[in-house]
Amino acid sequence: MEDLCNERECECGCECESECGCERKEPVCMSACVLRVWCCQLLVCDLCTSQEVLVHTPEACCFCPGERVCITYDGRMTRSMPPQIHASCIRRMNNGCC
């Protein structure tokens, strides 16, 4: 299995691998409510932490504000505001208002 870190820069954006300790992570599922929709991006509210998260996905336009979704991603999240993730899969949960 290949490491995410290389000698110059990690995929997570840090300058060196000792700073972040990057390694492959198991897929993570986030339950969230869609707040805003853009082309290739969703702003969601994580239902567990109430934190807003920007989700990068080519399927963004398939969703609407107010939908509840389950987002599968690789476990990596940026330290930006709002934090950002890259979704590998998004599926609708039982719909309802947030």
Residue 55: pLDDT band with limits 50, 70, 90: very high
Of the candidates 83, 51, 87, the residue with the CA atom closest to the CA atom of residue 69:
87
pTM, two decimals, is 0.72
| pLDDT tens digits, 29-52 | 999 999 999 999 999 999 999 999
Q: What is the mean pLDDT of residues 19-34?
A: 77
In order, the DSSP letters of 11-76 are TTS-SSHHHH-------EEEEEEEEEEETTEEEEEETTT--EEEEE-TTGGG--TT-EEEEEE-S-
Architecture of the 25-92 domain? Beta Barrel (2.40)
